[in-house]
Amino acid sequence: MTTLQRQENNPIAHLTAEDIEAIGRELDAIRDEVIAVRGERDAAYIRRVIKVQRSLEIGSRAVLLFSLFPPAWLVGTAGLSVAKILENMEIGHNILHGQYDFMRDPKIHSTTWEWDMATPAEQWQHSHNQIHHKYTNVVGKDNDLGYGIMRVDENQRWHPFFLAQPLWNFINALFFEYGIAAYDLELGRNLQTKKRRSNPVFRKNLKAVGRKIGKQALKDYVIHPALSGPSFLHTMAANFTANVIRNVWSHSVIMCGHFPNGVSTFERTSIKGETRGEWYLRQMLGSANISGSKLMHIMTGNLSHQIEHHLFPDLPASRYAEVAVKVRALFEKYDLPYVTGPLPKQVASAWAKVIRLSLPNRKPTAAPDPSIPPRRPVAEPVTA
Amino acid sequence: MTSPGRPSRLGEVPVTQTLRNGAWRVVELITTPVVPSDYLDVIAPLRNPNVLRARVEAVHRETANAVTLELRPGRGWRPHQPGQYVRLGVDVDGIRLWRSYSVSSPAGQPSGRISVTVNAVRDGLVSSYLLANARRGMIVNLDLPAGDFVLPAERPAKSLFVTAGSGITPVMGILRSAVHELPDVVVVHSARTSEDVVFGADLRALAAAGRITLIERHTGADGRLKPAELAELVPDLFERETWACGPGEMLDALADHWSEAGAAERLHVERFRPTVLVAGDGGSVTFERSGARVEAPAGVSILDAGEAAGQLMPSGCRMGICFKCVLPMREGIVRDMRDGQITTAVEGDNVLIQTCVSAAAGPCHLDA
């Protein structure tokens, strides 16, 4: 954990190696408790959410057939936005994490599920489950930090390009699903050289994304509008609006997961030979929660419990709320910063960081020790 | 009657078909990324042609330990032959488990229903669940009928059925369908007591009507039936085409007896596979497609063991979080190295297991 050790306010300075392994064991025990009771209730829950989501989507699309009338447009657009958010967050994201694989229902399984998103499930699973969740907040390994287009760490060299990063971030929020698709494709990197452009794996993935986007666009911008007849343009606008609302919402929730003040980032070298306890600790310090009501948790796909999600990505998300009580007690026991706050506060905090880092560092770094690359805290922990 | 010489007629079929296919593709686009049947499943689970299901239409208690389910199979069902079995997929505590049950109803019922009789077995998750929870209206998953424990098209002049316990269920299906086509039938059935005889009333009625000769053996009082005793009960034993179904030891003993008499080809057996697997430490892992086989000790993941044996393995995070390494286990038993949870698969199950965190807890067969 070399990054943290060089921080001015190192949140784990007081922990011994034994403490860290003890934390790991306590978290494993929390996980075991959930595994022991996982079953009927969780299966019934996801089936119910899927049913509610599908009914809401069918209902909203039916209302939008008459979207020529403003009240129908408003109701249908609102309903469709909620349906799309549920579909992406509480259903798609969680099923694609394998949270419901235990049910052995081939219809609700991480290997078969496809979602209402520009990026195909399989590509997203690679960049999200395999890369982001394994290398959480490791600068240079976890591209979720800044999505490769933003400066997210004081120690990243500043370039005039970053002046525009608040704008990039805003555009990314509006068209988040396409941003994610480009990100999963590693589009920037893969378009750079001819060799990379013609790589067969990249070509195959590109084609899959093209097909997926084509179908999605045809559905939202041609087929459903056409079914609405005279309401064609209104339905098209409604679908566009619902997609944008869904995009901005998920972008905001996801920014709150790892960007707000108090969240730590890690050096590439710090994860060499990492133990299970150290991996857990990195997830604890590298994630942030959103506080709120039950409805808030459902609408974020329980990613409001980002800390619990990063500790136990394959446990049914609806269990995170009960797990959070124990996890938080563990944070307190070991005097670690449990970063959480209401949505507006966390979103503001994340945006403030995006804006701050678009400018060069205010304070010049102290004369660096030539033997160690200079590191400073990415952010101060909120609790001392 | 269409004559092949009329091109207009011939042209019509592809056109309507193309239209229908095109229209269907539009319907699929309306619901993308899921398929239309995912929405229809909510209201009509039996009409999905790709996922065979059945509705439980009635539940009859046979004995204290056995229950008959009358099932209405959904679209895609293919009628069974008497003596065949079906696999039922039942969600027990949220987990879909598949078990095989013989069809006990006669073939080709006008109602389209079939029935299976479930006997509670010791430690049987599914059978005890169905015994306690099967209700009218319940939806179960279903596989097409399978098995070759059936009568030949040319019915034998003399037949014998040797059954024990729930081994009577496929035979009951055969008798209900074809007893009138079988001129000379002997049924030797063993159960613990008279009350434990599944279909006791039906069997005794058939015997009373002179359709079959029924020999009941109550093992609680008389002990287990030995093959040698059969010769006394059925003098023309080896002249009869024989079907036997029951516990493995009984079938083994019968098979020995018949082959010693040089009549092995006259004996047809149906084995109920044992579904209770006991977890041990480590085991041999067989990759069925490549033919590779490796001894995997308890502390080693199947992913590592497979790679060490030169098997090409899908992999990802190697810590149980990305689900990139899952492979179907056709048969076997594994232990999750993180929490000690046991996962078992019986033949036909194809349970997907995470190879990076699963260690063998007995012999395992993977579809890879």
Complex-level ipTM: 0.87
- Residue-by-residue DSSP string for A210-278: HHHHHHHHHIIIIIHHHHTGGGHHHHHHHHHHHHHHHHHHHHHHHHHHH-STT---B-GGGGTT--HHH
Q: Tell me, what's the pLDDT at A265?
A: 86
| Nearest-angstrom CA–CA distance, B263 and B259 | 6
Decide if B43 touches A, using CB distance below 8 A: no
Q: Tell me, what's the pLDDT at B122?
A: 79
| Nearest-angstrom CA–CA distance, B161 and B270 | 11
User: What is the location of CATH 2.40.30.10 in chain B?
Assistant: 53-142
Task: Locate the chain A residue with the closest alpha carbon to B339.
Answer: A32
Decide if A314 touches B, using CB distance below 8 A: yes
The residue assigned the tokens 């591209």 is A143
Model confidence pLDDT, tens digit, residues A228-251: 999 999 999 999 999 999 999 999
Decide if B322 touches A, using CB distance below 8 A: yes
What pTM value is reported for the model? Answer: 0.90
| Nearest-angstrom CA–CA distance, A341 and A344 | 8
All residues of chain B having their beta carbon less than 8 Å from the beta carbon of residue A97 are 323
Q: Is A213 exposed, middle or buried (0-12, 13-18, 19+ CB in 10 A)?
A: middle
| Nearest-angstrom CA–CA distance, A175 and A250 | 11
CATH 2.60.40.10 fits B283-366, yes or no: no
Q: Tell me, what's the pLDDT at A382?
A: 35
> Do the chains contact at B316 and A130, CB–CB below 8 Å?
yes
Query: Crossing angle of helices A232-258/A343-356, nearest 10°?
Result: 80
Cβ count within 10 A of residue A219: 19
User: What is the location of CATH 3.40.50.80 in chain B?
Assistant: 159-270
| Order of strands across the sheet that contains B267-271 | B213-218, B184-191, B158-164, B241-246, B267-271
Q: Tell me, what's the pLDDT at B285?
A: 97
Q: Which of A42, A43, A129 sits opposite B323 (nearest CB)?
A: A129
Write the Ramachandran bin of A352: left for phi over 0, alpha for psi from -120 to 50, otherwise beta: alpha
Model confidence pLDDT, tens digit, residues A275-324: 999 999 999 999 999 999 999 999 999 999 999 999 999 999 999 999 99
Give how far B288 is from chain A: nearest CA, Å: 21
Q: Tell me, what's the pLDDT at A174?
A: 97
Each of the 368 residues of chain B gets a pLDDT tens digit; together they read 333 334 444 445 677 788 888 888 888 888 888 888 888 887 888 998 889 999 999 999 999 999 999 999 999 999 999 999 999 999 999 999 999 999 999 998 889 999 999 998 878 899 999 999 999 999 999 999 999 999 999 999 999 999 999 999 999 999 999 999 999 999 999 999 999 999 999 999 999 999 999 999 999 999 999 998 998 999 999 999 999 999 999 999 999 999 999 999 999 999 876 656 789 999 999 999 999 999 999 999 999 999 999 999 999 999 999 999 999 999 999 999 999 999 999 888 889 999 999 999 999 999 99
> Do the chains contact at B33 and A216, CB–CB below 8 Å?
yes
Q: Tell me, what's the pLDDT at A143?
A: 84
- First CA to last CA distance, chain B: 50
State the SS3 of B61-97: EEECCEEEEEEEECCCCCCCCCCCEEEEEEEECCEEE
Task: Locate the chain B residue with the closest alpha carbon to A48.
Answer: B42
Q: For residue A56, what are the contacts with CB-CB under 8 A and spacing of at least 6?
A: A79, A82, A83, A86
Give how far B180 is from chain A: nearest CA, Å: 42
Model confidence pLDDT, tens digit, residues A8-37: 678 888 999 999 999 999 999 999 999 999
Q: Tell me, what's the pLDDT at A255?
A: 93
| Nearest-angstrom CA–CA distance, A272 and A141 | 12
All residues of chain A having their beta carbon less than 8 Å from the beta carbon of residue B96 are 103-105
| Nearest-angstrom CA–CA distance, B266 and B81 | 20
Give how far B334 is from chain A: nearest CA, Å: 14
At B215, the amino acid letter reads: I
Model confidence pLDDT, tens digit, residues A37-71: 999 999 999 999 999 999 999 999 999 999 999 99
User: What is the location of CATH 3.10.20.30 in chain B?
Assistant: 283-366
Quickly state the pLDDT bin for A154 (edges 50, 70, 90).
Answer: confident
At A347, the amino acid letter reads: V
| Nearest-angstrom CA–CA distance, A238 and A220 | 9
Specify the 3-state DSSP secondary structure of B11: helix
Per-chain mean pLDDT for chain A: 91
Q: Which of B33, B323, B340 sits opposite A115 (nearest CB)?
A: B33
| Nearest-angstrom CA–CA distance, A221 and B100 | 48
Q: Which of A187, A303, A295, A211 is nearest to A252 (CA)?
A: A303
Decide if B352 touches A, using CB distance below 8 A: yes
Give the count of Cβ contacts less than 8 A between chain A and B: 101
> Do the chains contact at A133 and B352, CB–CB below 8 Å?
no
- Residue-by-residue DSSP string for B272-303: PPP------S-EEEEETTT--EEEE-TTS-HH
Model confidence pLDDT, tens digit, residues B43-88: 888 998 889 999 999 999 999 999 999 999 999 999 999 999 999 9
Q: Tell me, what's the pLDDT at B273?
A: 67
> Do the chains contact at A43 and B316, CB–CB below 8 Å?
no
- Which fold does the domain B53-142 belong to in CATH? Elongation Factor Tu (Ef-tu); domain 3 (2.40.30)
Domain range B159-270, CATH class: alpha beta
